[in-house]
Chains A and B, each alone.
Chain A
Amino acid sequence: MSLSHVVIAPMLVALVTAIVTLLTRSRPTLQGGLSLLGVVGYAVAVAVLVGDVLSETVLTYQLSNWAAPFGITLVADALSAFMLVLAAVVSLAALAFSVIYVNSYGQRVSYHPLFHFMLVGVTGSFLTGDIFNLFVWFEVMLMPSYVFVVFYSGKAHTSAALKYTVLNLIGSAVMLVAIGGLYSTTGTLNMADMTRRLLAAEEYGIDPAPVLGLAALLFAVFALKAGIVPFQFWVPEAYSAAPAPITAVLAGVTKKVGVYAIIRLYFTVFAAATLPEGLGLPGLSGTSFLAFFGPVMFLMALGSIFLGGFGAVSRPDLDGVFAYSSIGQVGFIVLPLAVGATVPAVRSLAIVAALVYSLNHAIAKSLLFLVSGTVDDAVGAITFDDIGGLTGEMPVLSAGFFVGSLALIGIPPLTGFFGKLLVFQVASDATIAGGNGATLALAAALAGAILTIAYLSRAWKEGFWGETTGAVEGATATPGLVAVVVGLATLLVVVGVGFDPVYQVANAAADAALARTDYVRAVGLEVSS
């Protein structure tokens, strides 16, 4: 057990930046500069932490120096590290974009502090090893997002924010009930402690049956965060309402918090439990908790892929296409997890696939929302009726959109190709291994991928090709905004071409997610054998 202060560094940097930018509201230039400095500092802190994690495996930090499970523990392993990198990359791009894009009045009022508070919540969620503490960081992450959705305060924004807030408040209540229930059925809040207790349930006097139900209750919350069908309702309106760089963060990062929580809690923690009598509903079999969540996630993934795909293909504007696309793409992230939960032979690969897909979606979808923001900024419209012929007026921005689209479609050598390759590989390996439903998963992934081509090719031909519309004629994209887009597009190429190290980290993350005894021991607890 090693106490490592660096674990808390990213959170502290973000928190201090939030406070400092709150205090410098009267000096807008200083405020913006500090905010940018803060996000760079955040990226540096994450880089240092990730470097340490990759060389020393699991790092922990016991807050107030109370030993687990009595205090709150932060745990940084390869899985957390992977997600933190994703968060750092997207927030860096989003904030750089914001400084130019968001009107100066809005920036001064609250934009910067809220942005960094959101980052605190995200980071806390990735690092915490305590489920109640996870609830707290979820709240810290949600609060600013409520404000951001309503930020422009128009009619559509208010309506979107109302729905977003109400649905997420229901989610918070559900989360609280589930966490309370988990505490009273397992006797702990610490994830590592819960893991070892579930491993030896009888010894700790735990009846696993209600724990499964509570885990299912909690699952709904993460599905709501990730915007998985049938918990996707808030996504399209909220994404259209929030300022473009915030939507980039919502789609790129906070959605992935839900994905992370699913991997962490269901593959590391709850997978430790077994039901001695097995599952007793028709269509379900097996003794592992994952045998229940596999089919559940499978249905959710199918629903997401098709609702997102069919929704995106008919939207009349860029944001609509991208928002529905986000629902569909999260389906692609959950699909391998579903297959991996059902077929143990491909479980590790399944997590790798979900992570790589998440990484690509984070970068590519942020890029696309930033493109939409840039177009809106230059043209004043993002509906296909009003834009057209963008390739002529804004060739570089259009190229950025093209690269982002190809990455989502999965064209090699972009990052997205490897996401798609791995998702397909999980399903095809599971098919060869004779896994239930694996062939269906393969067919669904294929159909979903074709839908992706359909909606992105439509967006390209409607918005970027075609006759130059009056609004587009003579419009120029702000160079700084285009630079951010180009940066992300370059990243998609670089990560794809130099994919080997990325794969290795994702693989280490998957191993970390499944190495539950190592996780428990790293937190300083004994595993009874």
Chain B
Amino acid sequence: MQPNQTVLLAVLALPFLGAAVTPLVYRALGERTAYFAAAIAGGCLLLIASQASTHGSVTLPWIPSLGVSLSLYVDGLALLIGFLASGVGVLIFTYSGGYMHDEPGQMKYYATLQAFMGSMLGVAFAADLVALFLFWELTSVASFLLIGHYRSEESSKYAARKSMLITVAGGLFMLIGFLVLHGVAADAIGTATFRLVGSENSMLAHADEIQEALRSAGLLVPVLLLIGIGAAAKSAQVPLHIWLPNAMEAPTPVSAFLHSATMVKAGVYLVGRFRPLLLTDEWMILFATLGLVTMTVTAMLAIAASDIKELLAYSTASHLGLIVAGYGLSNVYGAETGAFHIVNHALFKAALFLVAGIVAHEAGTRAIDELGGLRHDLPVTAAVTVVAALGMAGVPPFNGFYSKELLFEATYEVALHDGGVWWLLPVVAVFGSVFTFLYSIRFLMLFFGEKPHELGEVHSPPAIMLAPPVVLGVLAGVVGLGGVTSTFGVHLTPLTDFVTRVVESSVAHGGGHEIHFGYHLPTKLKPAVVMSAITIGVGLVAYPFFDHLRDGVRTLRSVPLLSPNFYYDTGTEALDETEFVTTHLQTGLLRTYATALVLAVSAMTLGAYAAAGANLPAFTGVGLALPLVLVLLVAIVGAFAVTGAPSHVAGVLTLSILGFMVAIFYILASAPDLALTQLVVETLVLVLFLLVLDKLPAFYGEPSRLRSARDGLVSVVVGATVFTTVLLSTKATPNDVIAEFLAKRAGVPSEHGTYLLDWGGGGNIVNVILVDFRAFDTMGEISVVAMAALSVVTILAMRERGEVQ
């Protein structure tokens, strides 16, 4: 059944409309805006649910000229993310109603959070790569604003900028990946398309051709890397995971929603979405490695955490790594791992974040060492934590156990099939899982053992904050129980059928066999069971040494060169304090600027003459009359004398020798009008200079030899450029120059007729050009003169008054 276009659009529009009216709603409802937002999320959830049985796409034109459409696609994976965004949204908004009580900036908070939800739904359903990118970036922007919620805190500002730099920059890598796919599609399927999925001309419908075209162009690995970087930045994969722990500066509901359940899932969603398009050996090497390394490294870092939200943040990165690794593995178990663990992780981790929020709220601290024995004060919360934390640890029969079994199975299959170094996969998977087990138990122990004396009275949270984690905990419990019951033949079919659909989204079409996802407790001794047993066994043995392990990881973490944060901090600090440009380039000295300008002009021009192979005319002797030669020689002497002038006045006077020689040159060259102009200008300029120089200090700097030599060299280069230009220009003899047309019609000699007089109203060719042929130029120049006068007025007038704005 095809999805309904109106309903899908409403799903996307509703949260944005909600965000837009939030300022008004907030004015009316105040803090109860939380429930308005929860209702919006609930509406989205219902609308999505109404499309749950559909499959297919709807298309709305957006920018047809660019081939960009707002096409939306509904399938298992899209529905999963859609349900997460809206369903968890309902719970988060409800929870916020309690958590955000008396907090600042609530209007902005709810508006941004709703806009975020809309963007996340857009990511889920977009079938066009540009549309996908649109919503992708909007989630990053929303995340930036929410992390910076406490805007005066230095740590919030640091965290917000870090997340922005990493996720938005990662998005740009991804965008380039999309563009390369777009360009390659032109060769592979005949049209350059941005359509990823859901139409006959989509990339996924031609996966083999696209893969082939990418491979033959040598672009397969670059595209994998580009898209991989985008996904890794968003989903906090090593080494780009560093923004996520800092993102915990956001209010806890935001951490639970964006930085655990939904936004960080965008990256793994992308991996799952592209899997059928790009699944190759290179894919497996890249994503399986990335995922497993992230899973292990961040699980170790979670052990070293001192703050419960920090622990959960690293844990989130670790579980996202698990999902990426699952999608990275080429067998069907891999896809099942990815799909099922998205579900499980969202349930247990969102629950745990909300638990962390309750703990912080009621106990007043988030420091792990200061917390313990909370089960007496927070019994319900403790029960939720048991279900969720054991699910996170991968302990049967809790939900996370089943998806972890799938990962073990997938890695084992790959190793068995491909052998060699691939045996590292199951080993690393088990190794990383041991740490997962350890920190999960550590989190659980916040509720057990002795309550530290320093910990004051811990109240129970309001029902509004308790209900959402309970709902999530119950759901996680039900998923776990489903595994128990299906061991005895009673299957949780709505869930398994749904996960089957999610898996189908990430499996190459035409793969042959149908997918039947199911899960249950192990009934026979398979390798995966052994791996789980090792994980839990080693974990139990190691737990008593938790503090030693933690200190060990902390020691490793503190080695700067091993820490990506070190590189980030050093890099941004160096960047923020870059002084090179202002100290070496923009020096503020006109001398530097002018030198650079004329040298660049010369280099470019002489380079162009050389590149084009322009030939200078051969020197054939001086064909000028003696007086001309003498005048020009005097001019040259004058020019040289300027450089040695001892004072401003002497310099200007010497310069005027040059000017007057040019005037004489005009006379000798039969251009009396030019000569007159030149003489007037020269005289006026000389008088003006002398008047102004009188007001200036007589100091006339003593340049160093080095500087004189450098300036001399510069002037030689500039001279050479102009000299070459003049020689080459005057040598040219193009046909039909405009001047010929005019000269043939000039009033003198009389046989030319009266053309100019009749049509231009004058006999003097120069005059007619100035006031008729090119009158427009003259008008412009007159404006310039008028403005020059006006500028004098302005400078004089504003000198007195300008400083006061």
Interface residues of A (CB under 8 A from B): 15, 18, 22, 63-64, 66, 69-72, 102-103, 105-106, 109-110, 113-114, 117, 120-121, 124, 132-133, 136-137, 139-140, 143-144, 146-147, 150-154, 157, 159, 162-163, 166-167, 170-171, 174, 177-178, 180-181, 183-190, 197, 203-210, 212-217, 219-220, 224, 230-231, 233-234, 236-237, 275, 277, 279-281, 284, 292, 296, 307, 310-311, 313-314, 324, 377, 389, 391-392, 406, 409-413, 417-418, 420-421, 424-425, 428-429, 431-432, 442, 446, 449-451, 453-454, 457-458, 461, 465-468, 499-500, 503-504, 507
Contact flags B208-223 to A (C-beta < 8 A → 1, else 0): 0000000001010000
Residue contact A412 to B787, C-beta cutoff 8 Å? no
**Which residue of A147, A213, A391 is within 8 Å of B609 (Cβ)?**
A213
User: Closest approach, in angstroms, between the C-beta of A376 and any C-beta of chain B?
Assistant: 8
**Is B169 a contact of A275 with CB atoms below 8 Å?**
no
Check: B597 CB closer than 8 A to any chain A CB: yes
Query: Which of B60-68, B290-298, B324-332, B454-462 lies on the face that meets chain A?
Result: B60-68
* A231 contacts across to B, CB distance below 8 A: 597, 600
Are B780's CB and A136's CB within 8 A?
yes
B424 sits at the interface (CB 8 A)? no
A147 touches B795 (CB 8 A): yes
The listed residue (A143, A197, A311) touching B586 by CB distance below 8 A is A311
Query: For the complex, what is the distance from the CA of A431 to the CA of B182, rounded to whole Å?
Result: 12
Minimal beta-carbon separation of B310 from chain A (angstroms): 22
> Which of the candidate stretches B515-523, B693-701, B734-742 sits at the interface with the other chain?
B734-742
Q: A500–B65 contact, CB under 8 A?
A: yes
Report B-chain residues with C-beta under 8 Å of the C-beta of A110: 790-791, 793-794, 797
Which chain A residues lie closer than 8 Å to B592 at the CB level?
A: 233
* Chain B minimum-CB-distance residue to A184: B729
Q: Which of A70, A103, A120 contacts B738 (CB 8 A)?
A: A70
Q: Is B282 an interface residue (CB 8 A)?
A: no
A432 to chain B: closest residue by CB: B183
Chain B window 270-303, contacts with chain A (Cβ cutoff 8 Å), 1 for yes, 0 for no: 0000000000000000000000000000000000
A8: nearest chain-B partner, CB-CB:
B776
The residue on A at minimum CB distance from B736 is A187
- B180 CB-CB contact with A under 8 Å: yes
Minimum distance in angstroms from B596 CB to a CB of chain A: 5
Given A277-B613, A424-B179, A220:B581 Cβ within 8 A: no
| Across-interface contacts of A72 in B (CB, < 8 A) | 773-774, 776-777
> Quick check: B607 and A281 within 8 Å, CB to CB?
yes
A216 touches B593 (CB 8 A): no
Specify which chain A residues have a CB less than 8 angstroms from the CB of B709 in the assembled complex. Answer: none
Pair A458/B66 contact, Cβ less than 8 Å: no
Q: Tell which of A177, A190, A281 touches B722, judged by Cβ atoms closer than 8 Å.
A: A177
Q: Are A150 and B795 within 8 A (Cβ)?
A: yes
**Contact of B734 with A428 in the complex, beta carbons under 8 Å:** no
Complex Cα–Cα for A189 and B776 (A): 14
| Alpha-carbon distance A70/B756, docked complex (angstroms) | 13
Contact A406 B141, beta carbon cutoff 8 Å: yes
| Nearest residue, chain B, Cβ from A144 | B787
* Most B-side CB within 10 Å, residue of A136, A154, A446: A136
Question: Closest residue of chain A to B724, judged by CB?
Answer: A213
User: B568-616: which have CB < 8 Å to A?
Assistant: 572, 575-582, 585-586, 588, 590, 592-594, 596-598, 600-601, 604-615
Closest chain B CB from A135 CB (angstroms): 8
Q: Given A313-B575, A425-B182, A428-B176 in contact, is the A461-B597 Cβ separation under 8 Å?
A: no
Which listed residue (A70, A180, A310, A465) contacts B773, Cβ 8 A? A70
Chain B residues whose CB sits within 8 angstroms of the CB of A450 once the complex forms: 165, 169, 172
Q: How far is the CA of A183 from the CA of B138 in the complex (A)?
A: 53
The closest CB in chain A to the CB of B599 belongs to A230
Contacts A209-B615, A432-B180; A461 near B148 (Cβ below 8 A): yes
Given A217-B601, A465-B151, the answer on whether A103 and B805 have CB atoms closer than 8 Å is: yes
Q: List the interface of chain B (C-beta within 8 A of A).
A: 62-66, 130, 133-134, 137-138, 141, 144, 148, 151-152, 156-157, 160-161, 164-165, 168-169, 172-173, 175-176, 179-180, 182-184, 187, 217, 219, 572, 575-582, 585-586, 588, 590, 592-594, 596-598, 600-601, 604-615, 721-722, 724-726, 728-738, 741-742, 772-777, 780-781, 783-784, 787-788, 790-791, 793-795, 797-799, 801-805
Given contacts A167-B593, A450-B169, are A181 and B798 in contact (CB under 8 A)? no
Q: CA–CA, A208 to B86, complex, Å?
A: 66
In the assembled complex, the Cα of A307 lies from the Cα of B133 at a distance in Å of: 29
Q: How far is the CA of A174 from the CA of B721 in the complex (A)?
A: 11
Q: Is B134 a contact of A412 with CB atoms below 8 Å?
A: yes
Can you list 24 A-B pairs, Cβ within 8 angstroms, ordered by A?
Answer: A18-B783, A102-B805, A105-B801, A106-B802, A110-B790, A143-B791, A162-B590, A190-B738, A210-B609, A230-B597, A277-B613, A310-B578, A314-B576, A314-B577, A377-B805, A406-B141, A411-B141, A411-B168, A428-B176, A432-B184, A454-B575, A465-B148, A500-B64, A503-B63
- Across the interface, do B725 and A214 meet the contact criterion of CB distance under 8 Å? yes
- The smallest C-beta distance from A150 to any residue of chain B, in angstroms, reads 6
Task: Please give the distance in Å from B43's CB to the nearest CB on chain A.
Answer: 23
Minimum distance in angstroms from B684 CB to a CB of chain A:
17
Please determine whether B613 and A280 come into contact, CB atoms closer than 8 angstroms.
Answer: yes
* Contact B798 A412, beta carbon cutoff 8 Å: no
Chain A, interface SS category: helix
Cβ of B175 to closest chain A Cβ, rounded Å: 6
Find out whether the CB atom of B600 lies under 8 angstroms from the CB atom of A230.
yes
Closest to A150 in B: B795
From known contacts A103-B804, A151-B798, A170-B597, infer whether A307 and B581 are also in contact, taking CB-CB under 8 Å.
yes
Q: How far is the CA of A279 from the CA of B795 in the complex (A)?
A: 49
Q: Are A210 and B169 in contact (CB under 8 A)?
A: no
CB atoms of B65 and A504 under 8 A apart: yes
The distance in angstroms between the C-alpha atoms of A453 and B163, with both chains bound, is: 11
B714 to chain A, nearest CB (A): 12
User: Is the CB–CB distance between A233 and B614 below 8 Å?
Assistant: no
Among B598, B728, B734, B784, which residue has the most Cβ atoms of chain A within 10 A?
B734
Task: Report the Cα distance A336→B470, complex, angstroms.
Answer: 55
Contacts of B598 in A (CB 8 A): 170
B39 to chain A, nearest CB (A): 26
Report the nearest A residue to B62, measured CB to CB: A500
Taking CB atoms, residues of chain A closer than 8 Å to B805 are 102-103, 152, 377
State A461–B160 Cα separation when bound (angstroms): 9
Check B580 against A310 for contact (C-beta < 8 Å). yes
Partner of A136, one of B180, B781, B795: B781
Q: What CA separation (Å) do A236 and B581 show in the bound complex?
A: 11
Pair B613/A114 contact, Cβ less than 8 Å: no
Contact status B137-A412, CB under 8 Å: yes
Q: How far is the CB of B247 from the nearest CB of chain A, in Å?
A: 14
Within 8 Å CB of B579, what residues of A?
314
Please name all residues of chain A whose beta carbon is closer than 8 Å to the beta carbon of B612 when the two chains form the complex. Answer: 208-210, 212-213, 275, 279-280, 292
CB distance A64 to B775 under 8 Å? yes
Min CB–CB distance A84 → chain B (angstroms): 18
Q: How far is the CA of A151 from the CA of B794 in the complex (A)?
A: 7
**Contact indicator B593/A234 (Cβ below 8 Å):** yes
**A309 to B572, alpha carbons, bound, how many Å?**
13
Question: Judging by beta carbons under 8 Å apart, are A69 and B738 in contact?
Answer: yes
User: Which A residues are CB-close (under 8 A) to B156?
Assistant: 465
Closest B residue to A307 by beta carbon equals B581
B780–A206 touching, CB < 8 Å: no
Q: B403 CB to closest chain A CB, in angstroms?
A: 34
Tell me if A216 and B575 are in contact (CB < 8 A): no
Q: How far is the CB of B240 from chain A (nearest CB, A)?
A: 13
Min CB distance A474 to B, Å, is 17
Given known contacts A70-B742, A428-B179, A507-B65, A413 and B134 CB-to-CB distance under 8 angstroms? yes
Nearest chain B CB to A250's CB is how many angstroms away? Answer: 16
Residues of B within 8 A of A113 (CB): 787, 790
User: Contacts A170-B597, A204-B735, A209-B614 hold; do A219 and B604 have CB atoms under 8 A apart?
Assistant: yes
Shortest Cβ distance from residue B774 to the other chain A in the assembled complex, whole angstroms: 6
**In the complex with contacts A391-B151, A503-B66, A457-B164 CB distance below 8 A:** yes
Q: Are A117 and B787 in contact (CB under 8 A)?
A: yes
